[in-house]
Structure 1
Amino acid sequence: MPLLLPPPSPSIASNKLKLSTLTFVTSNADKIREVTSICKDYGITVNIRSIDLPELQGSIEEVAREKCRQAALAVNGPVLIEDSAVIFNALNGLPGPYIKWFYHSLGLSGLNRILAGHEDKSAAAVCTFAFSWGPRPDQEDSDSNSNNDTSS
């Protein structure tokens, strides 16, 4: 599934706009360690905020963009969010960005039961990062990376 991106925003490392601090909205300790480590290499200080952002319905990209917009409004400055999704091919892409709710409701064994009657049990994990320079609607950019194919 291709990701359609808006026109590129100015590079974080460009000479015109140098980002020195950003807020990463998450409560996931592993995500915090990873993003903090990467940003440190570029001289970017990361502030962490755990904000309960609304879980909206839509495509993976739409959900990430809206979460980023909401986070930018909450912090009133540069913000980064990450949203995870799992796509089961047998389920036509479900649960997608709703994996958190599927997992909390069904558990791992419940997810396995859903796939039990399907021959194709392949899946892909999709991590979507969305960045915004601030609360203006034209300040977002997002990108997805699905490098965790879990075909069985």
Structure 2
Amino acid sequence: MSKVITFVTGNTNKLKEVQAIIADSVELTNKSLDLEEVQGTIFEVAEAKCKEAASIIQGPVLVEDTALGFTAYGGLPGPYIKWFMAKIGHEGLNNMLAAYDDKSAQAICTFAFSEGPGKEVKIFQGVQDGIIVPARGPVGFGWDPCFQPDGFDQTYAEMPKTLKNTISHRFKALQLLKEFLVTR
């Protein structure tokens, strides 16, 4: 792809992960925008953010929405995890599940891409199953210290970034995006 894509995020940790995973095949620039957080499904949230970003940037954009869904809560907090983390933190996430035997969760990353204003929005989603555990590892990147992916004995926060960036929900979504960008 010859055009530079603007990845719209103010989260430096997300930016670093995305660059580490796809910088070899996609030319990215970054811009932080205060986009409206609509209520709806993960797909509706990502699509709305992408359309708004494309309108502001006036060119190719990539936006990301991350969700964390608890099985015991039917997939909630889902795309609203950012707001839950801001209000109740890691301990609060664990407290939400204290009354449930089922601590399973899905980490869901949804990227939305558009060539620009009025262009179709393409959605790419990656899912990683896991469990919610008491916070372990460095804090500072959302709910990573509380999410232990299936098949591992470490939380995302405890893992070396090189490992996380080959198994995470974000990695899985970005692999689909890369395939799309390379084959179009």
- The letter of the residue matching 1:78 is P
Instruction: Give the SS at the match of 2:23.
Output: helix
Query: Is 1:143 matched with 2:124?
Result: yes
TM-score by length of 1: 0.81
Match of 1:115 in 2: 97
Q: Which of the numbers 106, 124, 146 marks the counterpart of 1:124?
A: 106
* CA distance in structure 1 between the partners assigned to 2:89 and 2:13 by the alignment: 20
Structure 1 pair 135–123 and aligned structure 2 pair: CA distance change class (3 A): same
* CA distance in structure 2 between the partners assigned to 1:47 and 1:38 by the alignment: 14
Name the structure with the higher helix share.
Answer: 2
- The letter of the residue matching 1:130 is A
- The letter of the residue matching 1:27 is G
Query: Is 1:47 matched with 2:38?
Result: no
Preserved contact between residue 10 and residue 32 of structure 2 (Cα < 8 Å): yes
* CA distance in structure 2 between the partners assigned to 1:102 and 1:33 by the alignment: 23
* CA distance in structure 2 between the partners assigned to 1:52 and 1:143 by the alignment: 22
* CA distance in structure 2 between the partners assigned to 1:113 and 1:119 by the alignment: 12
Unaligned runs of 5+ in 1: 1-17
- The letter of the residue matching 1:71 is A
Residue 143 of structure 1: CA displacement?
Answer: 1.2
Structure 1 pair 120–72 and aligned structure 2 pair: CA distance change class (3 A): same
Q: CA RMSD in A?
A: 1.6
Preserved contact between residue 6 and residue 31 of structure 2 (Cα < 8 Å): yes
Question: Identity, % of aligned pairs?
Answer: 47
* CA distance in structure 2 between the partners assigned to 1:150 and 1:114 by the alignment: 13
TM-score by length of 2: 0.67
Query: Is 1:59 matched with 2:59?
Result: no
Instruction: Give the SS at the match of 1:106.
Output: helix
How many pairs align? 133
Match of 2:62 in 1: 80
* CA distance in structure 1 between the partners assigned to 2:59 and 2:5 by the alignment: 7
Larger RCO, structure (CA 8 Å, separation 6 or more) = 1
- The letter of the residue matching 2:18 is V
Preserved contact between residue 3 and residue 60 of structure 2 (Cα < 8 Å): no
Residue 121 of structure 1: CA displacement?
Answer: 1.1
Unaligned runs of 5+ in 2: 134-184
* CA distance in structure 2 between the partners assigned to 1:51 and 1:34 by the alignment: 19
* CA distance in structure 1 between the partners assigned to 2:39 and 2:70 by the alignment: 18
Match of 1:8 in 2: none
